Amino acid sequence: MLIRLSIFLKKLKNTDMKFKGLGVAVITPFTKSLDVDIVAFENIIHQLISNGADYLVLLGTTAETPTLSPAEKRQMLSSAIKINAGKKPVVAGIGGNNTLKIIEEIKSFDFTGIDGILSVVPYYNKPNQKGIYNHFKTIAEACPVPIILYNIPGRTGVNMTAETTLKLANDFKNIQGVKEASGNLDQIMEIIKNKPENFAVISGDDNLTLPLIALGADGVISVIGNAFPDKLSKMISIFPSHPDKAALIHYELMDFIKYLFVEGNPAGIKGLMSLMGYCEKTVRPPLYELSDDVIHKFLELLQS
């Protein structure tokens, strides 16, 4: 039993993973006239690189990607890659509910400066587990860079089970992680317990980051990290040696996270970052900007 435990702990401590620690799901700042604010975006990229982000995740949910034009997506990727200059791994969101269309996108995509993709479980169609497996199998066979699976049943309407995740992780070497936002601790623990050595289990929920790291997860792809990359990075890095101090940071951030999603993502994080001087609180329709009530809550927290 002790030998098995030792092997398990050694597997959890693997440091060769590319997608480990703090990944930030980067927002897309807009001007009040709903144009992409590229100056604000570039400033955000600079501060994330300088303040503890381990990798950048672009064109995900938090980026309001469905509202972006192809030209806007290219502009943001190009700007981020240029500023990053190879300092941190860069992940691009490439996913959807039309498998063949995703393959076409992958074949025409310029992967220069891109270290991986984040690909969501197909939404709306509600495929069964065989359909989910074959969807990601097809992507894995076509994709030239590592893949992070993204399980978020609250948005997609279907859950990718631990069994499906583990089968994909074992069958395809370029499937190198999962962003788990199911909120199902039993499911996530099963993945952590039985995953291959170099497969990253990544929290997709800011409020569960520290609990999941304590259980053996490899980090987070974070929303709150846009505003507080330094705090979140410190929390993750000091946990092994100072779990009590990490817990203090966790509870400090929880005060913000409490209000971050009450009116939807990324309205919450944009409202918070507008108070911090990073961008406007503008979101594109059909989303709606954060209310004054929640803005006031954030302002009180920032001033406390």
Structure tokens at 138: 């097809």
Residue 260, number of CB atoms within 10 A of its CB: 25
CA angle in degrees (0–180, nearest 5) for 183-209-118 = 75
Following DSSP, what letter does each residue of 237-283 receive, concatenated? HHTTT-HHHHHHHHHHHHHHHHHHSTT-TTHHHHHHHHHTTSS----
Residue 243, number of CB atoms within 10 A of its CB: 13
**Residue 150 catalytic?**
yes
Q: Looking at 20, 88, 133, 150, which residue is catalytic?
A: 150
Residue 35, number of CB atoms within 10 A of its CB: 11
CA separation for the pair 179, 119 (Å, rounded): 9
143 within 8 A of 117, measured Cβ to Cβ:
yes
Q: Looking at 73, 179, 195, 297, which residue is catalytic?
A: 179
3-state secondary structure of 150: strand
Residues forming the active site? 150, 179
